[in-house]
Structure 1
Amino acid sequence: MSSRGHLVLFRHGCAASYIIPILMYKRICTWRKLCEFLIIQNFIFRNCANQMGEQIDFLMPHFDQESDVLFVETPEEILVYSPNKEVEALREIICGRMQFDERVLQRVLDCGLDAESMCLLNDADLADIFPKTEIGLRIKFRERLSHWRQNEAPTLSPLSSNRSEMTSFEDFKNSEIAQNNLEEILNASPKGKNIINYHKENFFLLDSHREALIGIIVNYFTEKNECMAMKDIANFSEQIITLFPSENMRYYCNRREGKNPTGKLYDKATNVRRKHNKKREHILLDDTDLSSRKDSAPCTSDQNAVADKLWLAHNMEPWSEVVKKWNATIEIRQQDIFNRKVNIFTDWPLLKNSLGYTLIAIDFIAKYKDSANNLINEWPDFRRLIIPYMRDKIKDNASNNMLLMIDENVDSDSTDCIITLLMHSILKPPLISTGNTPNSKRFKWKPSICDAQNVTVLHCEYINDYQRRYDELKSKAMEKCTTLQPLILVIGEELKSLESYYIVFDGVLYKVPTFVRALAILFKLFHVFNLKYPIEAKFLYDFMEKYFFKFDCSVNSNLLLLINYLENAKKCLTKSAKCLSALLVILVDIIQNY
Structure 2
Amino acid sequence: MEPRRSHFIIQSSGTANLCRTATNYENEINEQNIKHLNDSMLKELIPKIGRRILFINKLKQLYSNESLSQNKTSSIENLSSDDEVSNDENALPSANNSLISTRLYNDRRTIHKTLKKSTRGSAVLCTYKKNKVLSMKNRNIIVDIIMEDVLQKEKRLRNADFHGLAKQICEEFPTENLNTYYVPPITKKESNINKSISSKGKLVSKYRNNLYGLKLLNAVGTTEEESDTDENVDIDTEGLELKQWLSVTITPWDKVKENWKKSFNFRRQEYKKNKDFNIATIVAEWPILRQPNAFALINEDFDSLRLTTVNLNEEIWETFFQKVLKLRDLNNRDSNSLALKEVVTLEEINIDLKVAGQLLLLPYLLPPKGRIKCGQKHWKPSVTECKDSILMHLLIPGDIIVKVDERRELMKKLNLSVQPFIIIIGPTLTDIESIYVCLDDIIYKLESVLQAVDICFKIFHVFNLKYPPESEHIWQLVQLYIYNIKTVYDKYISQVAELITDMNKVRQQCKLKFKIHYINYTFLQFKSHKSLSLYKNNH
Pairwise CA distance, 1:446: 1.4
- 2:490 equivalent to 1:551: no
Pairwise CA distance, 1:328: 0.6
Pairwise CA distance, 1:325: 1.1
Could you say which residue in structure 2 is the equivalent of 1:472? Answer: 406
- 2:183 equivalent to 1:291: yes
CA change 1:307–1:459 in 2 (3 A) is: same
3-state DSSP class of the match of 1:463? coil
Distance across 1 between alignment mates of 2:394 and 2:404? 10
2:304 pairs, out of 335, 343, 366, with: 366
- 2:424 equivalent to 1:495: no
Distance across 1 between alignment mates of 2:515 and 2:309? 25
1:429 pairs, out of 347, 360, 368, with: 368
Asked if 2 retains the 8 angstrom alpha-carbon contact of 1:456 and 1:487, the reply is: yes
- 2:392 equivalent to 1:458: yes
Asked if 2 retains the 8 angstrom alpha-carbon contact of 1:305 and 1:329, the reply is: yes
2:357 pairs, out of 402, 408, 418, with: 418
Matched to 2:486, the amino acid is F
Could you say which residue in structure 2 is the equivalent of 1:381? Answer: 319
Distance across 2 between alignment mates of 1:346 and 1:289? 20
Q: Give 5+ residue unaligned stretches, structure 1.
A: 1-281, 437-441
3-state DSSP class of the match of 2:434? strand
More off after superposition, 363-372 vs 420-429: 363-372
The structure having more radius of gyration, on CA atoms, is 2
Asked if 2 retains the 8 angstrom alpha-carbon contact of 1:371 and 1:550, the reply is: no
Distance across 2 between alignment mates of 1:558 and 1:393? 17
3-state DSSP class of the match of 2:443? strand
Pairwise CA distance, 1:455: 1.5
CA change 1:560–1:394 in 2 (3 A) is: farther
CA change 1:425–1:290 in 2 (3 A) is: same
3-state DSSP class of the match of 2:393? strand
3-state DSSP class of the match of 1:444? strand
2:269 pairs, out of 313, 325, 335, with: 335
Pairwise CA distance, 1:375: 7.5
Asked if 2 retains the 8 angstrom alpha-carbon contact of 1:309 and 1:329, the reply is: yes
Considering fraction of residues, name the structure with more strand: 1
Pairwise CA distance, 1:326: 1.1
CA change 1:554–1:465 in 2 (3 A) is: closer
Matched to 1:428, the amino acid is P
2:471 pairs, out of 510, 531, 537, with: 537
Matched to 2:320, the amino acid is F
TM-score, normalised by the number of residues in structure 1? 0.46
Over the residues paired in the alignment, what is the CA RMSD in angstroms? 3.6
Pairwise CA distance, 1:489: 0.4
Could you say which residue in structure 1 is the equivalent of 2:497? Answer: 560
Deviations 1:423-460 (A, max 9, x none): 22233223434445xxxxx1122111011111111101
Q: Give 5+ residue unaligned stretches, structure 2.
A: 1-173, 186-198, 206-232, 534-539
Distance across 2 between alignment mates of 1:531 and 1:292? 28
Distance across 1 between alignment mates of 2:523 and 2:255? 52
Deviations 1:294-320 (A, max 9, x none): 759999744333322222222222222
Matched to 1:304, the amino acid is E
- 2:241 equivalent to 1:307: yes
Distance across 2 between alignment mates of 1:489 and 1:353? 18
1:524 pairs, out of 458, 464, 479, with: 458
CA change 1:586–1:415 in 2 (3 A) is: farther
CA change 1:393–1:566 in 2 (3 A) is: farther
Distance across 1 between alignment mates of 2:289 and 2:459? 11
2:383 pairs, out of 449, 456, 468, with: 449
CA change 1:402–1:423 in 2 (3 A) is: same
Pairwise CA distance, 1:578: 5.2
Pairwise CA distance, 1:487: 0.7
Distance across 2 between alignment mates of 1:427 and 1:500? 27
Could you say which residue in structure 2 is the equivalent of 1:506? Answer: 440
Matches within 5 A, 1:227-376: 286=178, 290-292=182-184, 295=200, 301-338=235-272, 339=274, 340=277, 343-371=281-309, 373=311
TM-score, normalised by the number of residues in structure 2? 0.50
Question: How many residues were matched structurally?
Answer: 308
Distance across 1 between alignment mates of 2:179 and 2:492? 38
3-state DSSP class of the match of 2:492? coil
Asked if 1 retains the 8 angstrom alpha-carbon contact of 2:307 and 2:485, the reply is: no
CA change 1:555–1:375 in 2 (3 A) is: farther
- 2:355 equivalent to 1:403: no
Asked if 1 retains the 8 angstrom alpha-carbon contact of 2:182 and 2:200, the reply is: no
Distance across 2 between alignment mates of 1:413 and 1:503? 14
Matches within 5 A, 1:109-124: none
Distance across 1 between alignment mates of 2:370 and 2:243? 44
Distance across 1 between alignment mates of 2:248 and 2:521? 58
Could you say which residue in structure 1 is the equivalent of 2:102? Answer: none
Asked if 2 retains the 8 angstrom alpha-carbon contact of 1:424 and 1:452, the reply is: yes
More off after superposition, 409-418 vs 339-348: 339-348
